[in-house]
Chain A
Amino acid sequence: MLASILAQVPWQAPSIDYHAIAPEIVLAAGIVLIILVDLFVGESKKWVTASLTGFVLLGALIPVLTLAVSDPDARSLFDGRYVIDEYALTLKALFLIAGYVVVLLSQNHVEEGDYYQGEYYTLLLTSLTGMVMMASSRDLVSIFVALEFLSIPAYMLAAWRKRDRKSNEAGVKYYLLGVFASAVMLYGMSLLYGVTGSTLLSEIGRQITVDGDFGGVHALAIVFVVVGFAFKVSAVPFHTWAPDTYEGAPTPVTAFLSVASKAAGFVALVTILYVGVPQAKDVWQPFLWVLAALTMTVGNLLALRQSNIVRMLAYSSISQGGFILMPLAVAGTGDAAGPALQAVVVYLLVYAAMNLGMFAVVIAAARTTRSGEISSFGGLFSYAPGLGVLMTIFLASLAGIPPLGGWIAKFAAFRAVLEAGNGWAYGIAVIGAVNSVIAFGYYGNVMREVWMKPAPNGETRAVATPTSLVAALTITGAATLLLGVLPGTVLRFGDLADLVGAFGR
Chain B
Amino acid sequence: MEVLRDQNWLLTVGTFLPLVGVLVMLFIPKSDEQSHKSVALITALATLAIGIYTLTQFDFDQADKLQFFADAEWIKVISSNYTIGLDGMSLPLYILSMIVTVLVMIYSWNHIPSPGNPKAFLSLMLILQTGMAGTFIAQDLILFFVFFEVVLLPMYFMIGVWGGEQRQYASLKFFLYTMFGSALMLVAFIALFFKVRGALPDGVEPSFSIPMLAEYGGLLGRSAQIWIFAGMFVGFAVKVPMFPFHTWLPDAHTQAPTQGSVILAAILLKLGTYGFVRIAIPILPEGAREWAPWIGLLSVIGIIYGALGCLAQTDMKRLIAFSSVAHMGFVMLGISTLTPMGFNAALFGMVAHGLITGMLFFIAGSVKERYHTLEIARLGGMLKQLPKLGWILGFCAMASLGLPGLAGFWGEFPAILAAYSPAPGLSEEVFRVFMVIAALGTVFAAAYLLWLFQRTAFGEPKPEFSGGNGHGDHGHGDHGHGDHDDLHDVNTFEWIAWTPFLIAIVVFGVYPQLMFKIFDPAVSVALKAFGG
Determine whether A100 belongs to the interface, using a CB cutoff of 8 Å to chain B: no
Q: Measured between alpha carbons, how far is A488 from B187 in the docked complex, in Å?
A: 20
Determine whether B74 belongs to the interface, using a CB cutoff of 8 Å to chain A: yes
Given contacts A412-B78, A444-B176, 11 further A-B contacts (CB under 8 A): A401-B153, A402-B149, A408-B75, A411-B186, A415-B78, A419-B194, A434-B183, A488-B73, A488-B74, A488-B77, A491-B75
Q: Contact mask A290-312 → B, CB, 8 Å, 1/0?
A: 00000000000000000000000
30 contacts between A and B (CB under 8 A): A381-B120, A382-B117, A385-B30, A396-B153, A401-B152, A401-B153, A401-B179, A402-B150, A403-B149, A407-B149, A411-B78, A415-B78, A419-B194, A430-B187, A433-B183, A433-B186, A436-B179, A436-B183, A437-B180, A440-B179, A444-B156, A444-B175, A444-B176, A447-B157, A448-B171, A452-B167, A487-B75, A488-B75, A488-B76, A491-B77
Q: Measured between alpha carbons, how far is A356 from B243 in the docked complex, in Å?
A: 42
A: number of interface residues (CB 8 Å): 36
* A binding-site residues for B, Cβ under 8 Å: 342, 381-382, 385, 392, 396, 401-403, 407-408, 411-412, 414-415, 418-419, 421, 429-430, 433-434, 436-437, 440-441, 444, 447-448, 451-452, 486-488, 491-492
Q: Which of B155-201 contact A (CB under 8 A)?
A: 156-157, 160-161, 167-168, 171-172, 175-176, 179-180, 183-184, 186-187, 190-191, 194
B residues near A440, Cβ cutoff 8 Å? 175-176, 179
Q: Measured between alpha carbons, how far is A419 from B161 in the docked complex, in Å?
A: 41
Docked-complex contact B30 and A433, CB < 8 angstroms: no
A445 nearest CB neighbor, chain B only:
B172
B77 nearest CB neighbor, chain A only:
A491
Determine whether B13 belongs to the interface, using a CB cutoff of 8 Å to chain A: no
A residues near B78, Cβ cutoff 8 Å? 411-412, 415, 491
| B-side interface mostly | helix
The 6 closest A-B pairs by CB, nearest first: A402-B146, A491-B77, A433-B183, A402-B149, A437-B180, A488-B75
Docked-complex contact A385 and B120, CB < 8 angstroms: yes
A residues near B75, Cβ cutoff 8 Å? 408, 487-488, 491
A residues near B60, Cβ cutoff 8 Å? none
Docked-complex contact B183 and A448, CB < 8 angstroms: no
A residues near B117, Cβ cutoff 8 Å? 382
Docked-complex contact B194 and A452, CB < 8 angstroms: no
Docked-complex contact A433 and B194, CB < 8 angstroms: no
Minimum CB–CB distance for B160 against chain A, Å: 5
Determine whether B145 belongs to the interface, using a CB cutoff of 8 Å to chain A: yes
A residues near B175, Cβ cutoff 8 Å? 440, 444
Minimum CB–CB distance for A37 against chain B, Å: 41
A414-B160 contact, Cβ under 8 Å, with A401-B153, A491-B77: no
Minimum CB–CB distance for B447 against chain A, Å: 38
A452-B160 contact, Cβ under 8 Å, with A418-B194, A437-B176, A492-B77: yes
Docked-complex contact B179 and A437, CB < 8 angstroms: yes
Q: Which of B106-164 contact A (CB under 8 A)?
A: 117, 120, 142, 145-146, 149-150, 152-153, 156-157, 160-161
B residues near A436, Cβ cutoff 8 Å? 179, 183
Q: Contact mask B23-61 → A, CB, 8 Å, 1/0?
A: 000000010000000000000000000000000000000
Q: Measured between alpha carbons, how far is A429 from B180 in the docked complex, in Å?
A: 13
Q: Which of A407, A440, A441 has the most chain B CB within a 10 Å cutoff?
A: A440
Docked-complex contact A414 and B120, CB < 8 angstroms: no
Q: Measured between alpha carbons, how far is A134 from B78 in the docked complex, in Å?
A: 29
B177 nearest CB neighbor, chain A only:
A437
| A-side interface mostly | helix
B227 nearest CB neighbor, chain A only:
A426
Minimum CB–CB distance for B479 against chain A, Å: 24
B: number of interface residues (CB 8 Å): 35
A residues near B171, Cβ cutoff 8 Å? 448, 452
Q: Measured between alpha carbons, how far is A141 from B327 in the docked complex, in Å?
A: 68
Minimum CB–CB distance for A47 against chain B, Å: 32
Q: Measured between alpha carbons, how far is A415 from B152 in the docked complex, in Å?
A: 23
Minimum CB–CB distance for B5 against chain A, Å: 23
Minimum CB–CB distance for B143 against chain A, Å: 10
Q: Measured between alpha carbons, how far is A488 from B171 in the docked complex, in Å?
A: 33
Docked-complex contact B160 and A448, CB < 8 angstroms: yes
Minimum CB–CB distance for A55 against chain B, Å: 33
B residues near A437, Cβ cutoff 8 Å? 176, 179-180, 183
Q: Measured between alpha carbons, how far is A408 from B150 in the docked complex, in Å?
A: 14
A residues near B156, Cβ cutoff 8 Å? 444, 447
Q: Measured between alpha carbons, how far is A237 from B175 in the docked complex, in Å?
A: 30
B residues near A401, Cβ cutoff 8 Å? 149, 152-153, 179
B157: contacting residue among A382, A407, A451, A486, CB under 8 A = A451
B residues near A412, Cβ cutoff 8 Å? 78
Q: Measured between alpha carbons, how far is A420 from B189 in the docked complex, in Å?
A: 15
Minimum CB–CB distance for B118 against chain A, Å: 13
A421-B194 contact, Cβ under 8 Å, with A444-B175, A491-B78: yes
A residues near B161, Cβ cutoff 8 Å? 451-452
B186: contacting residue among A385, A414, A488, CB under 8 A = A414
Q: Measured between alpha carbons, how far is A182 from B190 in the docked complex, in Å?
A: 39
Minimum CB–CB distance for A320 against chain B, Å: 16
A415-B146 contact, Cβ under 8 Å, with A433-B183, A440-B175, A452-B161: no
Q: Measured between alpha carbons, how far is A402 from B80 in the docked complex, in Å?
A: 15
Docked-complex contact A429 and B146, CB < 8 angstroms: no
B168: contacting residue among A418, A419, A448, CB under 8 A = A448
Minimum CB–CB distance for B173 against chain A, Å: 11
Q: Measured between alpha carbons, how far is A440 from B174 in the docked complex, in Å?
A: 12
A342: contacting residue among B74, B77, B183, CB under 8 A = B77
A448-B172 contact, Cβ under 8 Å, with A385-B120, A436-B183: yes
Q: Measured between alpha carbons, how far is A396 from B151 in the docked complex, in Å?
A: 13
A residues near B30, Cβ cutoff 8 Å? 385
Docked-complex contact B77 and A392, CB < 8 angstroms: no
B residues near A451, Cβ cutoff 8 Å? 157, 160-161
B residues near A385, Cβ cutoff 8 Å? 30, 120
Minimum CB–CB distance for B336 against chain A, Å: 26
Minimum CB–CB distance for A239 against chain B, Å: 24
Minimum CB–CB distance for B175 against chain A, Å: 6
Minimum CB–CB distance for B294 against chain A, Å: 21
A407-B146 contact, Cβ under 8 Å, with A440-B176, A488-B75: yes
Minimum CB–CB distance for A282 against chain B, Å: 23
A414-B176 contact, Cβ under 8 Å, with A451-B161, A488-B77: no
Docked-complex contact A433 and B184, CB < 8 angstroms: yes
A416 nearest CB neighbor, chain B only:
B190
Minimum CB–CB distance for A327 against chain B, Å: 13
A418-B146 contact, Cβ under 8 Å, with A440-B179, A448-B168, A451-B160: no
A403-B194 contact, Cβ under 8 Å, with A433-B184, A437-B176, A444-B175: no
Q: Measured between alpha carbons, how far is A436 from B179 in the docked complex, in Å?
A: 9
B residues near A434, Cβ cutoff 8 Å? 180, 183
Docked-complex contact A392 and B168, CB < 8 angstroms: no
B residues near A402, Cβ cutoff 8 Å? 145-146, 149-150
B residues near A444, Cβ cutoff 8 Å? 156, 172, 175-176
Q: Measured between alpha carbons, how far is A403 from B152 in the docked complex, in Å?
A: 11
A residues near B74, Cβ cutoff 8 Å? 486, 488
Docked-complex contact B160 and A433, CB < 8 angstroms: no
B123 nearest CB neighbor, chain A only:
A389
A residues near B76, Cβ cutoff 8 Å? 488, 491
B residues near A411, Cβ cutoff 8 Å? 78, 142, 186, 190
Q: Which of B268-313 contact A (CB under 8 A)?
A: none
Q: Measured between alpha carbons, how far is A488 from B74 in the docked complex, in Å?
A: 7
B187: contacting residue among A392, A408, A433, A491, CB under 8 A = A433
